[in-house]
Amino acid sequence: MGARKDLAKSFSRLTQEECPPGSIALYCCHLEFSNIRHPFSIFVLNVLEYYRISFGQIHPQGLARVLHFEVLCCASGYDPTLLSFRRFFRLAKNGDWFIFETTQVDTCLISSIVSSLGV
């Protein structure tokens, strides 16, 4: 098994001195699993800032859920807002990761979004 799949063989040599002031260090693999690319959208940054979490603390599937919500809103002709995101999702801890769980929402809200997409 290669080092890419075996966490016991994976390691990082990034040091504090390598990261310039005002910047953050990110693992590229984490972003690839989440299917997120730089530059990050304002909505994604607002969600992370509101919940006071970083890219490294959120599970890749949780970050993908944020992106999926943003895409659905844009496809429906709405601007994604933190208030609307919080209506559908809540932050939860799952082991060492943070994830976004769905909340108990009215089914008419979800069906209206799906029907407006023509699905």
Q: Which pLDDT tens digit goes with each residue over 66-100?
A: 988 998 888 888 889 998 898 888 899 888 888 88
* Least confidently predicted of 14-28, 37-51, 77-91: 14-28
Q: Cα–Cα distance between 98 and 92 in angstroms, integer?
A: 6
Residue listed under structure tokens 């976004």: 100
Q: Among residues 69, 111, 114, which one has the least CA distance to residue 87? A: 69
Q: Cα–Cα distance between 71 and 49 in angstroms, integer?
A: 19
- Domain residue ranges in the chain: 16-116
